[in-house]
Every structure is written in C-alpha cells, then in structure tokens.
Amino acid sequence: MKEMLYEGKAKRIYSTEDPQIVLIEYKDSATAFNGQKKADITGKGRLNNEITSSLFLKLKEQGIDSHFIKRVSETEQLVKKVSIIPLEVVVRNIAAGSFSKRLGVEEGRPLSGPIVEFYLKNDDLGDPLVTKSHILELKAATTEEISILRDKALQINEVLINFFDNLGVNLIDFKLEFGKDQDGQILLADEISPDTCRLWDQKTNEKLDKDVFRRDLGSLTEAYETILKRLGGHQHV
C-alpha cells in the first residue's frame, strides 16, 4: 500500500511494495528564501519531474548513477531508496546568488574554475555554509565521503555543462544531494531541475530557472518549458 513517508516543500515521498524503492511526487508548490516566499504554480510539478528524469537518464548514459529508476506518471517517478547525506553540494561556474552577495563578486563573472561548496541541510538554521572541519565535527560525512562528494559533483558538472551548452544554455551553478543505498554506496539523489540550477540563455542571458520566481522576473512555467523543450520535449509514460 502507498503510504506517505515524507512531505517536503516541493515533493512528497511514498513507500511502494518494494522496500528498496520509493515513489516521489513532484508538487506544484514553489518556495524560496527558506520557505518565506511561497506560491502554487500549476504545471511546475510535471515540468520538474520531466526535466529531472531526462537529466538523470542523460547522466546515466555518461556512466553517472543516481537513485532514479523511471518516470511513472506526469508528476511521479520511482527511485531507489537511499538515506540522504545531510549536505547540499553546490557547484559554481559563474558568480551569482549567495556567492555574489557574500563575497561582493559581480553576478555573471566567470570563475577561474568550478567552486564546490557544502551547506548543512537544516531548515531551522537556514542551511548554513560549512567547511570540512564543520562537516567532520558534526559527523555529517567522513573525510573520504567529502572527497567522493566533491569528485562526483565536479564530474557531474562537466557532463551538465556540456549538455546545457548544446542547448544554448549556460550552467551558472547548481545544487546536488547524495544518499547512501543499502550497500553503503553513495548515489546522486533528489532532483536536478531549474529549481536547483541557475540556467541562463547563451544569446539573451535570460534566466530560465527559479530566479524567475525568486526575483519576480516573469512566468516560471514558460522558463521551465523552454528548458524542457530544448531537452527534447514531453515524453509519454
């Protein structure tokens, strides 16, 4: 029987008959600034489910495994059950967002190489930026795990930069989450979508990501549709 295991800001997670597999439902809700800004946007769940599924499949073709198994409806996908490592791994190629704000670097300035940052997954604390010493002190991950997360994040960055470049889109930055499966193997998890990436059109610099919602720049669904169309459009399940 389908039992809800968890409800987050943008997704619900349900059990399935297989204890090793869970169902993720993408919701139509949009939130920003740690939940302070909220809206219901019809179609957002479907778009993120389709975009994430498509990106996880493309990563798989490049030898990068994730929790993703298959998309089963417009808003749902089956994934391997993992226990999430309580860190958000952010990779940045071009200065933007909190990096620009914190360090006074102009948005849009290319970085000399990709920067990997770790944030503690903790809503009450507002997901603070943490150093390796903080991660070790909090026992959020081991030294070996931190190095695996960094290597995987950089590898995924290389692949995603190329994908998006072929679509006429610059990958500015993005956030990843990882989990451990039953065998203790570290797998890419959660989602990769315009909710978790900054994506700028190469010709116009138009923002095609959640900054459209965060900064009131226009229609979020139009921006996300643009990304989905360039990825190959709607696929029936």
| Number of Cβ within a 10 Å radius of residue 55 | 23
CA dist 125 and 139 (Å) reads 17
Q: In the complex with ligand C5P, which residue's Cβ is closer, 13 or 72?
A: 13
Smallest gap, in angstroms, from Cβ of residue 111 to ligand C5P? 13
Smallest gap, in angstroms, from Cβ of residue 37 to ligand C5P? 13
Q: In the complex with ligand C5P, which residue's Cβ is closer, 197 or 223?
A: 197
Smallest gap, in angstroms, from Cβ of residue 146 to ligand C5P? 18
Nearest position to ligand C5P, beta carbon: 97
Smallest gap, in angstroms, from Cβ of residue 144 to ligand C5P? 24
Q: In the complex with ligand C5P, which residue's Cβ is closer, 101 or 234?
A: 101
DSSP H helical ranges for the chain: 44-61, 97-103, 132-137, 143-166, 211-214, 220-230
Q: In the complex with ligand C5P, which residue's Cβ is closer, 76 or 88?
A: 88
Q: In the complex with ligand C5P, which residue's Cβ is closer, 35 or 168?
A: 35
Smallest gap, in angstroms, from Cβ of residue 97 to ligand C5P? 2
Smallest gap, in angstroms, from Cβ of residue 20 to ligand C5P? 26
Residues of this chain that interact with ligand C5P (CB under 6 A) are 88, 90, 96-99, 127, 173-175, 196-198, 210
Q: CA 68 → CA 15, 125, 148, 222, distances in Å?
A: 15, 29, 19, 26
- DSSP string over 183-233: T--EEEES--STTTEEEEETTT--B-STHHHHTT-S-HHHHHHHHHHHTT-
Which two tokens mark 118? 């770790």
Task: Report whether 119 contacts 90 (CB < 8 A).
Answer: yes
Q: In the complex with ligand C5P, which residue's Cβ is closer, 44 or 198?
A: 198
**3-class state of residue 146 by DSSP:** helix
Sign of CA dihedral 145, 66, 57, 24: negative
Which two tokens mark 172? 């500015």
